[in-house]
Amino acid sequence: MNILLTGASGGIGKSILMHLLQRDHLITATYFTTDSGLLDLSKNIKWIKVDFSNLDLDYEKIFNDQYDVVIHCAGIAISGLIGKQNQRDVQRQIQINLTTAVLIVDFFLPKMITSGFGRIVLISSIVGRDGSIGLSAYSASKSGLSGLLKSAVREIPIIKKRFGLDSNVTLNIISPGYTETQMISSVPPEVKEKLLDRSALDRFVSPNEIATLIDFIIEPSSVAICGANFEINGGSSL
């Protein structure tokens, strides 16, 4: 498959990228900052540097290929307590995490319907469901993906009718719990312990477990899996 993966240089994004490469997919991968070694990783990757905080991005010019699958993994979390947040930081999180997701669905969903096949997967977070101290803007941006999903899925039949097509197209969300990435390694031990107490597995989610779930969602036979929000969090609950 021809796959677009945003945020491919991040902790979860990188694991998804490696997983997809093992299955011989052709990948267009976006990054904003990364090490040069990752950029030289494989001939099956086309790297594009994209700043999703830029409101004037020309999607038609940047993403000028036909993709079977689009995985939106690019995201940013900036900690700040209510009353002490920087306005620019708040706007940047909303833009990258939520506005970009809306624009990606708006741009790619009709194209996929007209081509006859497509999978869009948005990466959300357990913080979008539960909230977290110091992450109100991040939580708001991630919880907003649920409203996007529900509304866009209701429009799929309308778009199909407009084009007179019956396409194998789906839109879903994956909401990981606290995941074993570089971000979690910087969390204080006492906080980690409290987070682990919430998990039935008594460990953090492996990024590869998220990538494996994507395998299932993007399969052509998974056409009935549409409008779902997959929580992969080891059984974490409030």
The yes-or-no verdict on residue 182 having pLDDT over 90 is no
The yes-or-no verdict on residue 224 having pLDDT over 90 is yes
pLDDT score of 110: 95
The yes-or-no verdict on residue 134 having pLDDT over 70 is yes
Q: Residue 228 — pLDDT band, cuts 50, 70, 90? A: very high
Amino acid identity, residue 189? P
Residues 207, 180: contact at Cβ < 8 Å?
A: yes
Tens digit of pLDDT for each residue in 100-111?
999 999 999 999
The yes-or-no verdict on residue 15 having pLDDT over 90 is no
What is the set of domains in the chain, with CATH numbers?
2-232 (3.40.50.720)
Q: Mention every residue, 6+ apart, whose C-beta is less than 8 A from residue 230.
A: 172, 173, 174, 175, 213, 217
Least confident of 9-23, 169-183, 215-229: 169-183
The percent of residues above 90 in pLDDT, for the chain, comes to 53
Average pLDDT (74-101) is: 89
Task: Tell me how far the alpha carbon of residue 66 is from its chain's centroid.
Answer: 19
Distances (CA, A) of 221 to 75, 142, 150, 217: 29, 28, 22, 9
Q: Residue 203 — pLDDT band, cuts 50, 70, 90? A: low
Q: Mention every residue, 6+ apart, whose C-beta is less than 8 A from residue 117.
A: 68, 167, 168, 169, 220
Which range has highest mean pLDDT (131-135, 154-158, 174-178)?
154-158
The yes-or-no verdict on residue 97 having pLDDT over 90 is yes
**pTM greater than the 0.75 cutoff:** yes
pLDDT score of 198: 65
The better pLDDT of the pair 53, 234 is held by 53
The yes-or-no verdict on residue 165 having pLDDT over 80 is yes
Least confident of 24-38, 83-97, 191-205: 191-205
Least confident of 12-21, 37-46, 122-131, 142-151: 37-46
Q: Residue 148 — pLDDT band, cuts 50, 70, 90? A: very high
- 3-state DSSP call for residue 210? helix
